[in-house]
Structure 1
Amino acid sequence: MYIGHVKDTPEKDVPNAKGTTIRWLISPKVGAKNFAMRYFVIKKGGEIPIHQHDWEHEIFVVKGEGYLTKDGKNWFKVVPGSYIYIPPNEPHGYKNEDSETFEFVCLIPAKREAIPDDEWQE
């Protein structure tokens, strides 16, 4: 068993994003073999540009309001309590226009190509 707290987990800037940080809460580094759990914070005016991966995402909004898109034209507002499933290879992006912070938990499969070296443990 591994127990931690989000405030004790290092916060890192997300590459290629604006005003966005990530905390790797659960990853292979702590022994997780199937899933990784991350905590994102997008500051007001911040965004994660449209991108895609070979793996799915499960998202749960914790704080603030934000917007998600899969085409860059239609944006969907999400609020605390919203949950989102993003299938593999579906383009997606996030932005925060209104809230001080837009915070969400995101789970992904613990695949080698999805996890940075410092969060991976063989």
Structure 2
Amino acid sequence: MGGMKPVVKQAASVEARPVERGEKAFIQVLIGPEDGAPHFILRKFTLLPGGRIPKHRHPTLEHEQYVLSGRMKVTLGDEVREVAAGQAVFIPAGTPHAYVNEGEEPVEFLCIIPKTSGYATEWLEG
């Protein structure tokens, strides 16, 4: 384990910040570099009813996501998919993607990304 120490935290204790260019969309970094995590960043997103994150892509960054609660539409490239609690989503690097919560309940999903110095977001709309 070297110099790394285990971390356990309550998600409710982590600040929820508005997502850049999002509407009614919030992000929490649950585990990241400040926790000593050397390879991955674990984030939790919340989309309130009517919330959205406009189409964007990350040229060198893949995403693995797991929907905790709710139902939303996810644009993956040119395809729109409806995903719900219990489903997982893989988004390859460079794939345009967007999120919309058209329902009446909040959507919560986890998103794991690799820790990298080359993180960049290209906004394609909004």
Structure 1 length-normalised TM: 0.88
| Distance of 1:8 and 1:113 partners within structure 2 | 28
Distance 1:29 1:20 in 2: 23
Deviation string 1:81-101 (CA, Å, 9 cap, x unpaired) is 000000000000111001320
The residue number in structure 1 matching 2:83 is 78
Alignment pair present for 1:58 and 2:58: no
Equivalent position SS for 1:75: strand
The letter for the 2-side match of 1:2 is: V
Note the 1:1-122 alignment, pairs <5 A. 1-53=6-58, 54-71=60-77, 74-114=79-119
TM-score w.r.t. length of structure 2: 0.86
* Structure 2 contact 47–108 (Cα < 8 Å) conserved: yes
Considering only CA atoms, is the larger Rg found in Structure 1 or Structure 2?
2
Tell me which stretches of 4 or more aligned residues in structure 1 moved more than 6 Å. Answer: none
Which is richer in helix?
1
SS of residue in 1 equivalent to 2:34: helix
CA distance in 2 between counterparts of 1:77 and 1:32 reads 32
The 2-side partners of 1:71 and 1:31 are apart by: 33
Unaligned runs of 5+ in 1: 116-122
CA contact (8 A) 1:2 1:30 kept: yes
> Which segments of 5 or more consecutive residues in structure 2 lack a partner in the other structure?
1-5, 121-126
Matched residues, number: 114
> How far did 1:112 drift?
2.5
Distance 1:113 1:19 in 2: 27
- Does the 8 Å contact 2:25/2:53 carry over to 1? yes
CA RMSD after TM alignment: 1.4
